[in-house]
Chain A
C-alpha cells in the first residue's frame, strides 16, 4: 500500500529556505554563495545553515576556491539532489492532480 504523496515529501527539501535553494540550483550548473544569498534575500547565516543541511543530506556539493585573492564558494546540486528534487516535484504534482475533480 503506497503512502499519501504528502506523507512522502522529503522533509529536508520541504522547508521554505531549502526548497528555494534547491530550486535555484536545479536551474543552474552551479551558483556562488553570494548569488544564492542575493537572489533569495537571505542572510549569510541562513544560507550557510540551509546549505549545510542540504550538504549533509548529500543533495548539494560545495566547492571552496579562490578567484585571484578572493575566496570563492560555489554550490551545485549532486546527482542524488537532482533525483530528490525531481521526486519532490512529482509528489507535489500528484497532490495537485488528486484534488482535481
Chain B
C-alpha cells in the first residue's frame, strides 16, 4: 500500500466515524412535545389576553424552560431504552451548538421581563428575536443531526425576517394578540407539522 492509498483510507475512516457519531435520537417525539406545548400556550395566552410584556416574556420563557427540560427527558428515555449513554459525544455537540443562540434568546426574554414598564404591552419584536435565535440554534445543531433540521432553522429565520417586514406596514398588526398568535403558530403548529412529518418518515430501525 502506498502513502496516497493510506491517506485516502484514513480520510474514509474519519468520514465514516463522523457519520457514525451523528445525533441519532428520534426527533419526532421531541418536536411533537415542543409543538404541543407551544400551541397550547399560544391558545391559552390568547384566551387569557396575556398582553403585558413582562407576563408575555415570563410565560414564554417558562414554556421554553419546560420544553428544553422535556426534550432532555425524552432523549434520556430513548438512550436508556437503547442502553446507550445519555450524555454521549453527539448529544454534547448538539447541546453546544444550540447554546449560544438560545442564550441570546434567553437574554432577550429576561430583558423583556426586567426592563419593561408595568403597562408596556407585548408586540412582535420579541417573537421575531426569538424566532431568529431559534432558527440560528437549529441551523447550528443541524450540522450534527442527520435530518432536515438545518432547513427548519432557515424556515424560522426567513419567517422571522418576513414578520419583521410587517412591523413597517402602516397598518402594522404588531400587538400582544398577534405576538401570542405568532408564537403559537411558529413554536406550536410548525413544530407539530414537522414532528408529524418526522414521525412518519423517521426510519423504523433495527430490524435485521
Contact = CB atoms under 8 A, between A and B. Distances in A.
Interface residues of A, number: 36
B130 to A, nearest CB: 34
Interface in A71-101: 71-74, 89, 92-93, 95-96, 98-100
A68 to B, nearest CB: 10
Interface residues of B, number: 25
B12 interface: yes
Contact of A35 (B2, B9, B21, B205): B205
B9 A20 contact: no
Contacts of A26: 13, 17, 20
A23 B17 contact: yes
B202 interface: no
Contacts of B17: 23-24, 26-27
B202 to A, nearest CB: 12
B84 A20 contact: no
A53 interface: no
A19 to B, nearest CB: 7
Given A32-B206, A34-B206, A92-B6, A27 B18 contact: yes
Interface of B: 1-3, 6-7, 9-10, 12-13, 16-21, 24, 83-85, 88, 203, 205-208
